[in-house]
Chain A
Amino acid sequence: MRHALPEGARRTRGRHTLIVCCGNADRGDDGAGPACADALRLLGAAARCLPGDAFTLLDAWSGQHKVIIVDAIMTGAAPGTIHRFEIKGGAGAEQFEARLGSSTHGFGIAEAFRLGRITQNVPEEAIVYGIEAVSFEWGAGLSAEVHAAVQRLATTLAHEAAQAPRDSAPGKLAAGQ
């Protein structure tokens, strides 16, 4: 039996930063991720928008050195609070997992880190930004608090992207990501 992961998937893609925004735009504040991706694009930074399930995340970050993930979160903090979790080589995902609880994406971000550690497919460096949500009601738009938080976070990320050395700028991954 050949190795399950094809050679290409095991090769590193480089040291650039990938921004992944997760969520469902039709589900209230779960649209924080997609809204952040839109805002980043307007600010000239590239971001990839994904539903947030573990399998597509594992695929997206395969071979990636640094990944920034944006998703809605519910911990009981004030709506619009931006939580920041640093995960190095998959370590530290537990504290994020404990805060996050269950995911609206089935096997979600926490499971992606668990599975990624076992299959040795985690970015060396990951930062997860969780935007504290008010509601995940179907058909509702973003709450005012989350909308404001999305704009703040997108501005910060776009600024960081612009300041980053060229070989690690998130904006470098626009095409095909």
Chain B
Amino acid sequence: MSTTTPAAHGGAAKIHVETIARVEGEGALNVRLKGGRIQDLRLEIPEPPRLFEAFLRGRRAEEAVDITARICGICPIAYQMSATHAIERAWGIQIDPQVRALRRLFYCGEWIESHALHIYFLHAPDFLGYRDAFEMAAKYRPEVERALRLKKIGNEMMRVLGGREIHPVSVRVGGFYHVPSKSDLQPLVEDLKWALEAAVETARLVATLPFPDFQQDYEFVSLSHPDEYPLNEGRIVSSRGIDLDVSEYEDHFLEQHVRHSNALHSVLRERGSFHVGPLARFNLNQEKLPGVAQETARECKLEAPVRNPFRSIVVRAVELVFACAEALRLIEQYEPPPQAWTRYERRAGIGMAATEAPRGLLFHRYTIDENGLILTSKIVPPTAQNLKRIEDDLWGYLPQILDAPVEEITWRAEQAIRNYDPCISCATHCLKVRVEREDDIR
């Protein structure tokens, strides 16, 4: 490893992280340093836009549920949930309470699968000094086996409820095409009991990781429901007093195009960047976590507001505990609804909805004509909402470590980006990180 530091060159260096590994998709980070200060910092997203919003135009509104699920292979349920809820709001459809519970259970499966993947395979190696999870697995075999089984249990929930693990096919406007019987869900119970225990162990493990001393004064934004930890519905709230119906989202949140990114940057109209995801959900809804998750959070010394983004790995583990406990509760209380889906009339309207994807708030809006065809749509994924915030974190964090060798700065920059579990495929695609010293390229 090079031991050359930017300070050794009068504080001049260019940091270009060409390929940010262990994120979904691809992108690049460019940092230019001069005189020991950051002159420029850009999280570049060069992948072309995916144009989902454009090719939804003219499609039947019901098709949005399956089309938007294709935006992401890790969180397709999030897209299905936000799409179907938005269309149901446009058409005034009231879903059966058991359908609602089943959707929540379905979403828990996605959280378990996604959080287990990120904690163990994408983020933990950063803290433990390994190049990747496979290198880490040699020393942490039981933990990696635990991760594999947790992920498999999440996938199995998605298969049982959605027909298949990736891009499930059971969700429809008004409910599900098919709902499981009580006995269909029973085989999940033993696995989920194990998963709950494993999730608590996961939280205990990641709570012991070394965390950089870094805090930011974030504006946290998440859904909030009076009785539940946020998942599939609620008002949009923030740590600085926002309290909105989802239909008011676009009055306050703005998408901006920046030259270096084909993913739009979301900002609060009045205040700039904000933070969505596990930290935001936890900080704004901690008291609604089930007892076992609250107890785990206490044991891990997590107390809202958590402002160190590196500790998001611990919060994610607490949410893993929540998802397992919530799934067990939902299965225990489940009674199959009399009808798998509620009948409805198509009509002209505008529907908006937001749900909590594993990575944070996912907003959808559809304008639908009298024939039930989509006129316009808007999809704001959590990663697009966090992109500017990630850049702001790097502006704040990198000056703390500029005395380190360039390789370490690169590593830490990637780790800071992975705090957000960014899904560039959702935000458009891809991520890369490259470090170059200014003197090297002269």
A residues contacting B by CB (< 8 A) are: 1-6, 51, 55-56, 58-59, 106-107, 111, 114-115, 118-119
Contact = CB atoms under 8 A, between A and B. Distances in A.
B137 A118 contact: yes
* A interface secondary structure, majority: loop
Contacts of B141: 118-119
Contacts of A106: 24
Interface in B155-199: 155, 165-166, 191, 194, 197-198
16 contacts: A1-B198, A2-B194, A2-B197, A4-B146, A4-B148, A6-B191, A51-B166, A55-B148, A55-B151, A106-B24, A114-B134, A115-B134, A118-B134, A118-B137, A119-B144, A119-B148
Interface in B21-55: 24
Contacts of B152: 55, 59
A1 B137 contact: no
Contact of A118 (B73, B138, B146, B194): B138
Interface residues of B, number: 24
A5 B137 CA distance: 15
Given A115-B144, A119-B141, 15 more contacts: A1-B198, A3-B145, A4-B148, A4-B149, A5-B148, A51-B73, A55-B148, A55-B152, A59-B152, A106-B24, A114-B137, A115-B134, A118-B137, A118-B141, A119-B144
A4 B142 contact: yes
A7 B166 CA distance: 25
A1 B148 contact: no
A6 B201 CA distance: 17
Contacts of A4: 142, 145-146, 148-149, 198
A5 B149 contact: yes
Interface string B64-75: 000000000100
A10 to B, nearest CB: 10
B276 to A, nearest CB: 23
A58 B148 contact: yes
Contacts of B151: 55
Contacts of B106: none
Nearest to A118: B137
A1 B144 CA distance: 14
B201 A1 contact: yes
Interface of B: 24, 73, 121, 133-134, 137-138, 141-142, 144-146, 148-149, 151-152, 155, 165-166, 191, 194, 197-198, 201
A67 to B, nearest CB: 18
Contacts of B146: 4
Nearest to B147: A4
A55 B73 CA distance: 13
A3 B149 CA distance: 10
Which of B24, B133, B134, B166 gathers most chain A CB within 10 Å? B134
Given A55-B151, A118-B138, A107 B121 contact: yes
Give 4 nearest A-B pairs by CB, closest first.
A4-B145, A4-B146, A118-B137, A114-B134
B433 to A, nearest CB: 16
